[in-house]
Amino acid sequence: MSKLVIYNHGKDSIPWGEKPLALAEVAKGQGFTFISPDYQASNDPDWRVQQLLALDVSGYETIVLVGSSMGAYVSTVAAEIIKPKGLFLIAPAFYLPGYARTEFKTSTANIEVFHGWQDDVVPPENAWRFCREHHARLHILDADHRLLSILPIMATAFERFLGDCTA
């Protein structure tokens, strides 16, 4: 069974920073192919959605979308078409000015969200609102927007999450 994780980085981030490197290790350990497209050419979230939708994912039976900040928005909007087995969202940039979508039609019940209490980019209330609307699993921990201080906790949860997506 071919399995794919697509990691979508944040607005001012890079495709292969600390988070995607740590999560890629977990995914590869479970037999997933892990890709992290480079969206640095544009900070327009809807342009990034189109770039993600342009990827050929036809050869994969199991697809999991992961996104950090703007990348979480990109993952969630694209999920309506890609229909992944799971959405793993890190400090999702939901309900912010400049983002076209405020309503999301998720195609999976397997959604997990990590957010930081100290996030000064996206208020934790935004993650709570999304999770309440979509019955998603929510972890709010003592961390800032980047969530690097809780990366080991997140990686452990991601390992369990991928297991749930392939069960």
pLDDT per residue as tens digits for the range 56-113: 999 999 999 999 999 999 999 999 999 999 999 999 999 999 899 999 998 899 999 9
- Give the pLDDT mean for 151-159: 98
Q: Where are the beta strands (DSSP E) in the chain?
A: 3-8, 33-35, 62-68, 86-90, 111-116, 137-141
Tens digit of pLDDT for each residue in 29-55? 999 999 999 999 999 999 999 999 999
Q: Return the number of other C-beta atoms located less than 10 Å from residue 49's C-beta.
A: 22
From 1.10.3720.10, 3.30.56.10, 3.40.50.1820, 3.10.180.10, which CATH number describes the 3-166 domain?
3.40.50.1820
What pTM was estimated for this model as a whole?
Answer: 0.97
Read off the DSSP letter of residue 108: -
73-90: b (≥16 Cβ within 10 Å) or e: bbbbbbbeebebbbbbbb
- The yes-or-no verdict on residue 1 having pLDDT over 80 is no
- 138 phi and psi angles, rounded to 5 deg: -125, 130
**3-class state of residue 124 by DSSP:** helix
Domain edges within the chain: 3-166
